[in-house]
Amino acid sequence: MDDPKGRTALITGASAGLGAEFARQLGAAGYGLVLVARRLDRLERLAAELRDRHGVPAEAVEADLADPDGPPSIAGELDRLGLAVDYLVNNAGSAGPDLLEDREWEEQADYLRLMMTSVARMCHLFIPGMRERGFGRILNVASVAGRIPRTNDLNYGPSKAYVIALSEALDLTLRSEGVRACALCPGFTHTEFHAVADLLEEKAALPGFVWYDAEVVVREGLAVIERGKCVHVSGRLYRWIDPVLQSVWTRPLARRLSGGG
């Protein structure tokens, strides 16, 4: 990892799960931290823990990325604190509503803002400064679900496919300027995600070998972006499966097995 002395990492969705693990590992590496989420009390406890443990500055910023005013409010707080963002981790997200069954469009619009628009806007706000300074890292948390269409996945997977495509285009655009972008694509990961999304029964029905710890996923993501990789499927099992899902020869079979007919 590049020398983090005097540099700041901003992590969205930092109050739990992968976001909190990103904060722990980037703090341990020496980055100053800006932790963003809706649950300010949890952010403040984590910020205090990391200041004490690693001796790095850590700020907690309350913001809702589903709100159109969320990203500019974060940028305004960074200006107030006098901080520039060198390492951006776009991690905030959720399972979301059913596109066809949940009829309130505003709920759908909020979800799309959270999963896609906010990612693009955070990049729009913070990447120009990285370009000017000649250094930056953008790690966008996507998913294996963004790599293959699945029956009844009409919001989560498609939104993650956008994040993957955006990350690839950003990396192609920026890498000659000292700025790197990477889409991190985990499979099933032990976090609070399934409990919050009421998916604990689904989790219990899956075999243990398909699950990875958040520590492994984050460690891999932080390592591969330094090696210049712009899309990384996390977990050895998923890296074995992914070529099968992407092959022009086997992708039709994968679609049928997922219920696509």
Residue in 87, 111, 156, 212 annotated catalytic: 156
Amino acid at 131: R
CA atoms within 13 A on the CB side of 94: 19
Q: Determine contact, residues 94/155, Cβ cutoff 8 Å.
A: no
Residue reference for tokens 């305004």: 76
According to DSSP, residue 16 is labeled S
Among this protein's residues, is 162 annotated catalytic? no
CB 256 within 8 A of CB 57: no
CA angle 50/54/60 to nearest 5° reads 30
**Does residue 213 contact residue 190 with C-beta atoms inside 8 Å?**
yes
Nearest to 86 by CA among 23, 134, 48, 47: 134
Does residue 1 sit in helix, strand or coil? coil
Phi, psi of 2 (to 5 degrees): -60, 155
Distances (CA, A) of 218 to 19, 97, 259: 9, 26, 31
Round to whole Å and give the CA distance between 204 and 97. Answer: 22
Q: Whole-angstrom Cα distance, residue 72 to residue 112?
A: 17
Query: CA–CA separation, 39 vs 122, rounded Å?
Result: 19
Residue positions annotated with a catalytic role? 156
